[in-house]
């Protein structure tokens, strides 16, 4: 079978490399157009070696249409005469006309246990919602988003401290292995699909920067999950407010602008430790006093709390909390929350 790979970012790279080592010729790569360096941070995809660079190393023709669904995009795909499209994190929804070009249609390598987490960011949303297991599903592509028949599926555990980027890397390797297995089955005529239970479907929409704003009203565990889910992009963030609303400033003291903080790593203290500070009711986002001046505890919803371990102040580098606190001593009434209106 003549294969055309369609994908972008590090999630697609292991599948592409596995196809290049396989028995079926890879006759082309369709990937996203080159972006200016300044725009790379606006993507949730980790860049890795680069799909285009891999293709050029192996003398594989590359197409980079702004939209594969235009007449020009479809015409370019036809010139490759594909039998099967192999899609992984391509970033565009394929039209019926695109899927009609290859004789065998297309398969998609999707990083979730479908029908859960259909959409652009399944890894991040699985962590955000506290899932303990996820996996990869290979589906027959259909016009409806991630709704095709399932050809293979395998689950793995999510590590308690694993970030979305770390988990995606493991799922990428799993997806490559499953994709090769399914392609061989399609070539042999033995592939069998299982329909998805659409009543169990959930959504995993594309991430935006706003998804990184920490919701301190959620439980401590949920906040920790959000911090892990937003890495490597858009990252979890909050603002340090030096004076709680309603607390008067000292005479002659100017108001402080909230300090934007990216939170890279946090932990949920053990129950026995939480009890030491839970005798007094706190508002979510309150910075709690700690016996150790090198620690930063923050109140979260349901009278829980987290400990911030690593952060990055606006315009500065990432640093451990002890280093940050040497120059930023918490004061009574300080809190973390949304930015200025």
Question: Mean pLDDT throughout 261-268?
Answer: 95
Which of 35-49, 122-136, 266-280 has the lowest average pLDDT?
Answer: 35-49
**What superfamily in CATH does domain 209-337 come from?**
Formyl transferase, C-terminal domain (3.10.25.10)
- pLDDT given for residue 255 in this prediction: 58
CA angle 157, 161, 164 (to 5 degrees): 75
Question: Mean pLDDT throughout 66-83?
Answer: 98
- pLDDT given for residue 39 in this prediction: 45
Question: Mean pLDDT throughout 134-161?
Answer: 97
Residue 63 in this model has a pLDDT that exceeds 70:
yes
What are the tens digits of pLDDT across the range 199-209?
A: 999 999 999 99
Q: Counting Cβ atoms within 10 Å, is residue 38 exposed (0-12), middle (13-18) or buried (19+)?
A: exposed
292 band by pLDDT with thresholds 50, 70 and 90 = confident
Question: Mean pLDDT throughout 174-180?
Answer: 98
Fold: same for 3-200 and 209-337: no
Which of 42-46, 99-103, 293-297, 334-338 has the lowest average pLDDT?
Answer: 42-46
280 band by pLDDT with thresholds 50, 70 and 90 = low
CA 51 vs CA 17, 260, 268, 279: distances in Å: 9, 34, 38, 55
- pLDDT given for residue 110 in this prediction: 98
Query: HSE of 130 in the Cβ direction (CA atoms, 13 Å)?
Result: 7
- pLDDT given for residue 269 in this prediction: 73
293 band by pLDDT with thresholds 50, 70 and 90 = confident
Residue 117 in this model has a pLDDT that exceeds 90:
yes
Domain assignments of the chain as residue spans, ordered by start = 3-200, 209-337
275 band by pLDDT with thresholds 50, 70 and 90 = very low
- pLDDT given for residue 43 in this prediction: 40
Question: Mean pLDDT throughout 129-144?
Answer: 97
- pLDDT given for residue 47 in this prediction: 62
- pLDDT given for residue 339 in this prediction: 84
What are the tens digits of pLDDT across the range 210-258?
A: 999 999 999 999 999 999 999 999 999 999 998 644 555 555 555 568 9
At what angle are helices 164-188 and 9-21 packed, to 10 degrees?
30
In CATH, what number does 3-200 get? 3.40.50.170
Would you state the structure tokens that stand for residue 178, as one six-digit string?
Answer: 């499953």
Whole-number average pLDDT of the chain: 90
Residue 181 in this model has a pLDDT that exceeds 80:
yes
Residue 60 in this model has a pLDDT that exceeds 80:
yes
Question: Mean pLDDT throughout 189-198?
Answer: 96
Q: How far apart are CA 146 and CA 110, in angstroms?
A: 8
Residue 291 in this model has a pLDDT that exceeds 50:
yes
Give 37 or 113, the one with higher predicted confidence.
113
Q: How far apart are CA 267 and CA 261, in angstroms?
A: 16
- pLDDT given for residue 257 in this prediction: 85
If one counts every other C-beta atom within 10 angstroms of the C-beta of residue 209, the result is: 13
Which of 81-85, 118-122, 221-225, 327-331 has the lowest average pLDDT?
Answer: 327-331
Q: CB neighbours of 299 closer than 8 A, spacing ≥ 6?
A: 216, 282, 283, 284, 285, 286, 287, 288, 305
Beta bridge partners of 317: none
């Amino acid at each position: 079978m003549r294969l055309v790979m369609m994908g972008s970012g590090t999630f697609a790279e292991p599948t592409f490399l596995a196809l290049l080592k396989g028995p079926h010729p890879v006759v082309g790569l369709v990937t996203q157009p080159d972006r200016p360096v300044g725009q790379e941070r606006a993507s949730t995809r980790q860049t890795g070696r680069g799909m285009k660079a891999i293709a050029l190393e192996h003398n594989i023709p590359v197409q980079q249409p702004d939209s594969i669904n235009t007449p020009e995009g479809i015409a370019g795909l036809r010139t490759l005469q594909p039998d099967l499209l192999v899609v992984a994190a391509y970033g565009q929804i394929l039209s019926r006309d695109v899927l009609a070009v290859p004789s065998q249609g297309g398969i998609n390598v999707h990083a979730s246990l479908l029908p859960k987490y259909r959409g652009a960011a399944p890894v991040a949303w699985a962590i955000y919602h506290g899932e303990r297991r996820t996996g990869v599903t290979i589906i027959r592509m259909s016009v409806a988003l991630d709704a095709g028949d399932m050809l293979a599926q395998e689950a793995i555990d999510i590590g308690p401290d694993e970030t979305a980027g770390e988990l995606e890397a493991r799922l990428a390797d799993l997806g490559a292995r499953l994709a090769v297995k399914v392609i061989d089955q399609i070539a042999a005529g033995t592939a069998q699909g299982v329909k998805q239970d659409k009543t169990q479907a959930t959504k995993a929409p594309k991430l935006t920067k706003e998804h990184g704003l920490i919701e301190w009203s959620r439980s401590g565990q949920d906040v920790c999950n959000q911090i892990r889910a937003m890495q490597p992009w858009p990252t979890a963030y909050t603002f340090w407010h030096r004076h709680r609303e309603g607390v008067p400033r000292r005479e002659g003291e100017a108001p402080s602008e909230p300090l934007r903080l990216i939170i890279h790593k946090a932990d949920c203290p053990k129950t026995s430790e939480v009890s030491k500070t839970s005798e007094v009711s706190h508002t979510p986002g309150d910075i709690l006093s700690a016996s150790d001046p090198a620690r930063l505890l923050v109140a979260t919803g349901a009278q829980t709390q987290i400990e911030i371990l690593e952060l990055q102040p606006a315009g500065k580098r990432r640093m451990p909390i002890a280093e940050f606190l040497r120059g930023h001593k918490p004061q009574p009434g300080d809190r973390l929350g949304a930015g200025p209106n």
